[in-house]
Amino acid sequence: MENKLAFLGTGSMNGAVLRGIIASGYDPQAITATLRSDDKAEALRAETGVTVLIGAQDPEANLKAVQDADIVFLGVKPVGITALCDEIKDALKPTAVIVSVAAAITISMMAEHLNPGQPVVRSMPNTPLKVGAGAVGVSAGESVSADALEAVVQLFAGSGVVHVVPESQQDAVSAISGSGPAYVFYLAEAMAAAGVELGLEPALATDLARATVAGAGKMLSDAQADPSALRRGVTSPNGTTERAIAAFDETNLSQIIARGAAAAAARAAAITKELA
Ligand SMILES: NC(=O)C1=CN([C@@H]2O[C@H](COP(=O)(O)OP(=O)(O)OC[C@H]3O[C@@H](n4cnc5c(N)ncnc54)[C@H](OP(=O)(O)O)[C@@H]3O)[C@@H](O)[C@H]2O)C=CC1
Ligand SMILES: O=C(O)[C@@H]1CCC=N1
């Protein structure tokens, strides 16, 4: 029988994890999801077939969702994670594995707000899980058995690549793959704007940028794909692409991207300090 799953705070990220799991064939009847407000509840129910409980209508929604759950995904904002742990801790099965998707909240911060020995996994997923193309870093607390960790890894693996990483690397994972989809969307926005500057209609420029980023992403989705080799395949000697890459290099675009990622990782470390 499949593990019973609970999703507490089923917004953008937990919703993507949930949709990825459902798309990979998991029985929706084994899943209960909670939301705080009711505006997206009906759509979530209709789309996924899971049981949806709404906090604004039932103060016990989270408690009901976890009472027979084997794996509990915490999907609220970082600032709400420890309060959510306090809320649910006595309703959890002692063996239930808590899986946080929150940036910056450490395993020990969660463990302080749960009963001793409750297994805790810290994960950093990303929203492309929703379309079966996610990337996830997971780190296990000391109470997590090898079987329990494997069960969590398998849930994510149905809709993305999964790497078990030391918890000390989670801020870096967050800065690369957690936030990374936004960097790629930003690139698509910048390409569309560049197309408009070159005289294309905005709708055409956006469509060309969108299809190009999506197509390049599809080529990269092969686990053996090498980004540098793929780039060279587009870059004719003394051709047009070469001039664009040279202009990027002149402006040190790689360093600019590294600065952005470092700023994201630094913000995660700062949030940890703020909320510890
Ligand atoms: N968005 C992303 O790409 C990524 C996000 N994350 C992490 O995911 C977490 C959630 O972020 P995100 O999904 O973007 O945020 P969202 O605001 O989209 O989702 C949070 C959800 O939690 C609900 N909620 C808040 N408090 C409670 C509660 N006490 N009980 C039940 N539901 C509650 C909110 O409901 P309501 O709207 O009604 O308040 C909302 O639906 C964060 O900790 C973030 O660090 C990690 C990786 C990537
Ligand atoms: O922006 C954030 O804080 C979250 C964590 C990683 C992606 N989104």
CB 170 within 8 A of CB 177: no
Residue 130: CB partners within 8 Å, gap ≥ 6? Answer: 15, 16, 19, 20, 159
* Among 169, 197, 229, residue at a domain's last position: 169
| Separation CA 237–CA 206 (nearest Å) | 28
* Among 169, 201, 223, residue at a domain's last position: 169
Amino acid at 76: V
Q: Is there a single domain that holds both residue 145 and residue 13? A: yes
* Among 102, 135, 169, residue at a domain's last position: 169
The residue nearest atom 1 of ligand 2, judged by CA position, is 179
Q: Is there a single domain that holds both residue 213 and residue 246? A: yes
pLDDT interval class at 97 (50, 70, 90): very high
- For residue 102, give the ligand 2 atom closest to its CA: 5
266: CATH? 1.10.3730.10
Tell me if 174 CB under 6 Å of ligand 2.
Answer: yes
- The rounded mean pLDDT for the chain is 98
Residue 174 domain-assigned (yes or no) = no
Rg (CA), the chain: 21
| Separation CA 120–CA 100 (nearest Å) | 8
What is the rounded (10 degree) CA torsion for 128, 132, 134, 137? 140
Percent of the chain surpassing pLDDT 70: 100
Is 0.90 surpassed by the pTM of this model? yes
Closest to 259 measured CA to CA, from 175, 202, 188, 199: 175
The residue nearest atom 3 of ligand 2, judged by CA position, is 103
Q: Is there a single domain that holds both residue 123 and residue 28? A: yes
Q: Is there a single domain that holds both residue 17 and residue 151? A: yes
| Separation CA 125–CA 14 (nearest Å) | 9
Q: Is there a single domain that holds both residue 113 and residue 194? A: no
Q: Is there a single domain that holds both residue 196 and residue 104? A: no
What integer is the mean pLDDT of 189-194? 98
Tell me if 178 CB under 6 Å of ligand 2.
Answer: yes
Residue 252 domain-assigned (yes or no) = yes
What integer is the mean pLDDT of 57-80? 98
Give the domain extent around 137. Answer: 5-169
- pLDDT, one tens digit per residue, over 229-243 is 999 999 999 999 999
With a Cβ cut-off of 6 Å, ligand 1 is lined by 8-14, 34-37, 55, 62, 75-78, 80, 84, 101-103, 124-127, 178
Residues 31-68 as b/e (b if ≥16 CB within 10 A, e otherwise) read bbbbbbeeeebeebeeebebbbbbbeeeeebbbbbbbe
Evaluate whether ipTM surpasses 0.90. Answer: yes
Q: Is there a single domain that holds both residue 156 and residue 31? A: yes
Q: Is there a single domain that holds both residue 13 and residue 139? A: yes
pLDDT surpassing 90 at residue 1: no
pLDDT at 260: 98
Q: Is there a single domain that holds both residue 150 and residue 252? A: no
Amino acid at 34: T
179 CA distance to ligand 2 centroid (A)?
5
Residue 221 domain-assigned (yes or no) = yes
How many domains would you assign to the chain?
2
Q: Is there a single domain that holds both residue 206 and residue 142? A: no
- pLDDT, one tens digit per residue, over 37-48 is 999 999 999 999
Would you state the structure tokens that stand for residue 157, as one six-digit string? Answer: 């693996």
| Separation CA 49–CA 99 (nearest Å) | 22
Q: Is there a single domain that holds both residue 165 and residue 50? A: yes
What integer is the mean pLDDT of 92-111? 98
- pLDDT, one tens digit per residue, over 140-169 is 999 999 999 999 999 999 999 999 999 999
- pLDDT, one tens digit per residue, over 199-211 is 999 999 999 999 9
Q: Is there a single domain that holds both residue 28 and residue 112? A: yes
